[in-house]
Copies of this chain bind each other. A is one copy, B any other.
Amino acid sequence: MKIAIFCGSMSDRKLMKNAEDLLKELNILYIYYIISAHRLPDVLLKTIQKIEIKKVDVIIAGAGLSAHLPGIISSHTYLPVIGVPIYNYPNPLSGQDSLFSMIQMPKGVPVATVGINNSYNAALLAIRILSIKYDKIKKLLFKFKEKTRTKLIQKIEKNL
């Protein structure tokens, strides 16, 4: 087990589907937790404590509105935590609330934030982090980038 993904509700999980799709495509194992930081704070804490035993290397956490989930996780762990600010249409404030809540963390508790609703990049960032430790994943990442590149070039040539 290398990656743990957290979000606060099933509807957030749907908005973060791109992350799961990428991890599945690359056959990278992950464990998923759906726990609201605010409504089940004690369950969240117990879960974070169990994670290090489970040999998780990187954590991804998505949250909307007052998006505290990744920050709270980061305050309870030594692992790198990647945050995905979620914008769930037709919420007002265009995801600026989630982005600011997530990224403006105080000194000492970093959250590696990616673009609004960009869970794909969160997964790819997690893989890049794993790749500095696991050679197998580094090779996988190389092959994946090569494949993506080839597809992009073919697409361009087709369009010209």
- A-side residues, CB < 8 A to B, are 8, 10, 18, 34-41, 43, 45, 57-58, 65-68, 71-72, 74-76, 78-80, 82, 87, 89-90, 92-118, 120-122, 124-125, 128-133, 138, 141-142, 145, 148-149, 152-153, 155-156, 159
User: Are A75 and B38 within 8 A (Cβ)?
Assistant: yes
Choose among B114, B133, B141 the residue that contacts A112 (Cβ–Cβ < 8 A): B114
Count of chain copies: 8
User: Are B105 and A121 within 8 A (Cβ)?
Assistant: yes
Q: How far is it, in angstroms, between the C-alpha of A120 and the C-alpha of B98 when the chains are bound?
A: 20
Closest residue of chain B to A111, judged by CB?
Answer: B114
* A72: chain B residues within 8 A (beta carbon): 38, 41, 68, 72
Given the known interface contacts A75-B41, A92-B95, the answer about A66 and B105 at a Cβ–Cβ threshold of 8 Å is yes
User: Are A132 and B97 within 8 A (Cβ)?
Assistant: no
Q: How far is it, in angstroms, between the C-alpha of A129 and the C-alpha of B65 when the chains are bound?
A: 24
User: Are A65 and B117 within 8 A (Cβ)?
Assistant: no
User: Are A100 and B103 within 8 A (Cβ)?
Assistant: no
Choose among B71, B80, B97, B121 the residue that contacts A125 (Cβ–Cβ < 8 A): B80
Q: How far is it, in angstroms, between the C-alpha of A36 and the C-alpha of B152 when the chains are bound?
A: 9
Given the known interface contacts A94-B93, A97-B101, the answer about A108 and B138 at a Cβ–Cβ threshold of 8 Å is no
